[in-house]
Amino acid sequence: NHQVWDRCINTSERTRQFVDVKQRFPMPHEQAVLAQSKAIGLDPSYVYGLIRQESRFIMDARSSVGASGLMQVMPKTAQWTAKKIGLQNFKLSQLQDRDVNIAIGTGYLKLVLDAFDGSMPLAAAAYNAGPSRSRNWRKSVGDGELDAAIWTENIPFSETRNYVKKVLANATVYAAVISGQAQSVQTRLGTVTAKADGDV
């Protein structure tokens, strides 16, 4: 199956008058993504929002820093996550396998999401820039809580700031596609509090 999803999305994003949501927000590997997300209690629209941003659904995508596959998993992250989720005899070459990549990527995303109390913006920032950075940026909130949209605008790395916005915007569209109901980015963003996180 040689569907070039990245070109499909790129071309769709250039059309202004007519927007085909299914074309702009495709859902390749639907059964695998939905089954794995459901199995570990992750919102599949969040997973799709992240994959669309990470790899544009290119199975053998490789980044300049060594992240690979659909969910652009880094080698050290993959090995750590494999141990955490009980994946026996894991080898880095398996990241090229779609189902293993999805299992590791969603497993890591779930661990990070749980560590950040279910905050999608904090977890997306951690997925992109690392949990320790996300933790430090969270501390900037002080004692109270901050609207996550404002927190996101104050992420000091422009790449991560844009990444978080795009993942959450993507996820909101995917949630509408999956559920058939209108969705709110604001609800998905929520608020950020400075309480201590779990260990990731």
Query: How many Cβ atoms from other residues are within 10 Å of residue 56's Cβ?
Result: 17
* Nearest-angstrom CA–CA distance, 194 and 59: 37
Please indicate whether residue 54 is annotated as part of the active site: yes
* Nearest-angstrom CA–CA distance, 126 and 169: 17
The one catalytic residue in 54, 145, 153, 159 is 54
CB 107 within 8 A of CB 135: no
Instruction: Report residue 146: phi and psi, to 5°.
Output: -130, 140
Instruction: Report residue 62: phi and psi, to 5°.
Output: -135, 135
User: Please, what sign has the CA dihedral across residues 94, 97, 99, 104?
Assistant: positive
Q: Which residues are catalytically annotated?
A: 54
